[in-house]
């Protein structure tokens, strides 16, 4: 990312929010409901701490991992029989070329105006991480959002539970903590829930956010021409999950970037059809 500052104001806000939710959950909600020295309190403290650590680890990995950059030597091989599908410009039909980076664009890559370079399999630029979400860090970003939602819901449950047990104490010295936490956790849980649902939808279809909106335009153009548009990188639900989250199912929710390939080429539905045709012919 060059000399770009990692800890932007947005990253600081996220870090402070994580710290506030963690400490208020343990030392206010959990302590008021069960007590930190009780058996249920210790169990919940351990579970919430583990969830918070997984959330922080994935956030850090997503923030510090380079999403993938185009090698200076990259050039599309239009005569390669193993990769016959190439992305071209909508206007002119030429191979995609970035005039700012002065490099050919691999499939699914796009130029980020914030990072000032092309990013492999770019999904979007996330200001809350001060980093692009792309080929090498999409998986840990996806898992971070999932863990963040679980942590917020867990904290909300402990908040409500502590209110039902000891309402007098909550109206006393911890009143401001309960109010601030409620105002933070409720909208944050809703936003994370919608965001996670959106990325689950994209993952199941092996799309990026950019490809979704490009697909909408392509679908409209195809319908006007009497054709049917299909996303070329949709390999089926299971293959899509493997492609995005990695080949090892046991590591899907671990803070590791188990992406497949270099990010310069991707399997397409046309590759599968070609393979099936070849097998049928030879048999």
**Is 149 a domain residue?**
yes
Q: Do the domain assignments include residue 164?
A: yes
The answer to whether 251 is a known catalytic residue is no
Catalytic residue among 126, 132, 152, 254: 126
2 is a domain residue: no
Average pLDDT for 95-104: 89
Q: Does the structure show a pLDDT above 60 at 16?
A: yes
**Domain-embedded: residue 125:** yes
Please report the pLDDT score of residue 116 as a whole number.
93
Q: What is the pLDDT of residue 274?
A: 47
Give the per-residue pLDDT at 247. Answer: 86
Q: Is residue 202 a part of any domain in this protein?
A: yes
Per-residue pLDDT, 277: 34
In a domain, 180, yes or no: yes
- Phi, psi dihedral angles at 195 (to 5 degrees): -65, -40
Residue 40 CB contacts under 8 Å (≥ 6 apart), including other chains: 34
Position 279 scores a pLDDT of 29
Query: What percent of the chain stands above pLDDT 90?
Result: 59
Domain that holds residue 231: 9-281
pLDDT of 184 reads 96
183 domain-assigned: yes
Into how many domains does the chain fold? 1
In the structure encoding, which two tokens stand for residue 203, read together?
């993952």
State mean pLDDT over 24-39.
Answer: 93
> Quick check: 103 and 96 in contact, CB under 8 A?
no
**Is the pLDDT score of 84 beyond 70?**
no
Question: What is the rounded average pLDDT of the residues 201-225?
Answer: 86
> Which residue did the predictor score with more confidence, 273 or 39?
39
For the whole prediction, is pTM greater than 0.75? yes
Residue 4 lies in a domain: no
Q: Model confidence at 111, in pLDDT bands (50, 70, 90)?
A: very high
> Does the structure show a pLDDT above 50 at 139?
yes
Region of 80 please: left (phi>0), alpha (psi -120 to 50) or beta. Answer: beta
């Amino acid at each position: 990312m060059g000399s770009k500052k990692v800890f932007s104001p947005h990253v600081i806000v996220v870090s402070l929010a994580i710290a506030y939710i963690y400490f208020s959950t343990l030392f206010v909600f959990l302590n008021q409901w069960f007590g930190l020295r009780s058996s249920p309190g210790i169990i919940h403290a351990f579970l919430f701490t583990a969830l918070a650590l997984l959330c922080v680890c994935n956030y850090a990995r997503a923030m510090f991992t380079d999403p993938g950059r185009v090698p200076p030597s990259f050039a599309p091989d239009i005569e390669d029989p193993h990769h016959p599908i190439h992305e071209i410009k909508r206007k002119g039909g030429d191979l995609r070329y970035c005039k700012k980076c002065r490099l050919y664009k691999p499939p699914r890559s796009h130029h980020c105006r914030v990072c000032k370079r092309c990013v492999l399999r770019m999904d979007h630029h996330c200001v809350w991480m001060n980093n692009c979400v792309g080929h090498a860090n999409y998986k840990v970003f996806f898992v971070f959002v999932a863990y963040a939602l679980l942590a917020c819901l867990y904290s909300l449950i402990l908040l409500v539970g502590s209110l039902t047990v000891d309402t007098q104490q909550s109206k006393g010295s911890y009143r401001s903590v309960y109010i601030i936490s409620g105002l933070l956790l409720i909208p944050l849980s809703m936003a994370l829930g919608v965001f996670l649902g959106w990325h689950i939808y994209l993952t199941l279809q092996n799309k990026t956010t950019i490809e979704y909106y490009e697909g909408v335009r392509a679908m409209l153009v195809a319908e006007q021409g009497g054709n049917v548009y299909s996303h070329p990188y949709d390999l089926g639900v299971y293959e899509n999950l493997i492609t995005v989250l990695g080949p090892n199912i046991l590591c899907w929710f671990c803070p590791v970037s188990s992406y497949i390939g270099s990010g310069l080429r991707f399997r397409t539905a046309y590759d599968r059809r070609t393979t099936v045709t070849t097998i049928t012919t030879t048999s």
